[in-house]
Amino acid sequence: MCNTFALCLYQSVCYTAMLCVTLCYALCVTVPVHNTVMLCVGLALSWGCCLAPWQPRAWALYCRAPTRLLSRLGGVLTGLALPRWLRRPLLALYVWAFSVNMAEAAEEDLSGYRSLGELFRRPLKPWVRPIAPHDMVIPADGYIVHLGRVRRSRLEQVKGVTYSLESFLGPQDWREDGGEQGVRADLYQCIIYLAPDDYHHFHSPTDWHIQHRRHFPGSLMSVSPSVVRWIPGLFCHNERVVLSGEWAHGFFSLTAVGATNVGSIRIYCDQDLQTNCARHVQGCYHDLSYLDWAGPAGVPAPKGAGLGEFNLGSTIVLLFQGPRRFGFRTSAGCRVQVGQALGSL
C-alpha cells in the first residue's frame, strides 16, 4: 500500500505540474478570466481528489467529489493548443513521468503534438500490434485486473469484490444460460485497466456485430486497481458506454468505463455520442439501436478493427457468452497489448 501511495503521489505531482504549466499559458494567452478562476479551483480540487482515496475512511468524501466537473476542466486544459516552443519540454515531462514508449508512436517527435490530449490519444505504427490468430484477442493495452466465468449474475471487480450484472449493463433481454443453439454456454468477463502511459485506443477483440449502444452518465472516479479494490461497485458508479451485440457463440459486449480526466469516450461508428455533458443526469441511461441504420445484423466489427478511444487511463470490460470449452490464454495481473491472444475455443 505504501508503494502504491508513493507511486500515485509521484505521478500526481508530475501530472499536476503539467497542468499548472498549461494553466499558466492559458492565463497569459487564451482563457478568459472567469474561466481561469474555475480552472484554478478545479486544479486544486483535482489534487485533493488524487490523495483522498488513500486517507483513512475517506471513501465517502471521495465519492461525493465533483469528478464530472473536474474532468471537464481537465479536458479544457488537455485540449488547449500549445505553442510549438512549449510542446517539447511540457510533453517530455509527461513522457518521462509515465515512461511512455514513444518509439511505438506513429509520430515520435513531441513537437508534432499540439496538445496534451493529442499525446494521450497518439496512434501507433501499424506493425507494432500484430493480431494473433486466436478466436479472441486483447482489445486494449493495459493490465488485466480480472478474468473468468461470471457466477450467479455477479461480476467480480477484483478478487473478493463483486457487483451485479444488471447494475452494470442495465436491463437485458438475453439469458445468462443461453448461447449458440444446442450448446450450453457460460458467461465470461475480462477487465483491462489502461494506465496513463498506455495506448488509449481500443479495438475489436473478435469478429462480432454491434447492435446496441447504452450510455450511462455517472461519476468519473479513478479506476486505478488500488482504488477499484477500495470502492465496491465502482464501475457501476462511473460513466460508461456499453456496446452490445452478438458473435458466433451468443451475446457479446464491450464496455468503455470513464475515469477521472477521462470524461470523453469516443466511438468511431457513433458520432452522435457525447459523454461527460453537463446536461446528462446521473442515474439514468440513454439507448441507441444501431439496427435502425446499420441493417438487421448491426455494425460489423472485425477482429482487430479500431472501435474507439479515450483520454489518459481508463478501463475496458468484456462480457460475453461462450461454450464451456472456451479457455483464456492469459491471466489476471499480466501486462497485455492489443492483438495478443486472450482466449480460444
All three cell numbers of 46, joined, read 483535482
Question: How far apart are the C-alpha atoms of 169 and 273, rounded to whole Å?
Answer: 17
Question: How far apart are the C-alpha atoms of 332 and 334, rounded to whole Å?
Answer: 6
Single-letter amino acid, residue 35: N
Question: How far apart are the C-alpha atoms of 130 and 111, rounded to whole Å?
Answer: 28
Residue of 219, 253, 264, 314 marked catalytic: 314
User: In this structure, how many other beta carbons lie within 10 angstroms of the beta carbon of residue 159?
Assistant: 11
Is the CA virtual torsion 271, 113, 68, 96 positive or negative?
positive
Q: Which residues neighbour 152 within 8 Å (Cβ) at sequence distance 6 or greater? A: none
2 φ/ψ angles, rounded to the nearest 5 degrees = -65, -40
Residue of 146, 200, 201, 203 marked catalytic: 203
Look up 209 and say whether it is catalytic. no
Look up 203 and say whether it is catalytic. yes
Residue of 46, 135, 141, 209 marked catalytic: 141
Q: Which residues neighbour 261 within 8 Å (Cβ) at sequence distance 6 or greater? A: 46, 70, 71, 74, 75, 78, 220, 311, 312
Q: 38 and 46 in contact (C-beta within 8 Å)?
A: no
Looking at residue 241, what DSSP letter applies? E
All three cell numbers of 89, joined, read 519540454
Question: How far apart are the C-alpha atoms of 338 and 203, rounded to whole Å?
Answer: 7
Look up 314 and say whether it is catalytic. yes
Single-letter amino acid, residue 180: E
All three cell numbers of 296, joined, read 438487421
> Of 150, 171, 167, whose CA–CA distance to 320 is shortest?
150
User: In this structure, how many other beta carbons lie within 10 angstroms of the beta carbon of residue 192?
Assistant: 25
211 φ/ψ angles, rounded to the nearest 5 degrees = -110, -15
Question: How far apart are the C-alpha atoms of 52 and 65, rounded to whole Å?
Answer: 10
Active-site residues, by number, are: 141, 203, 314
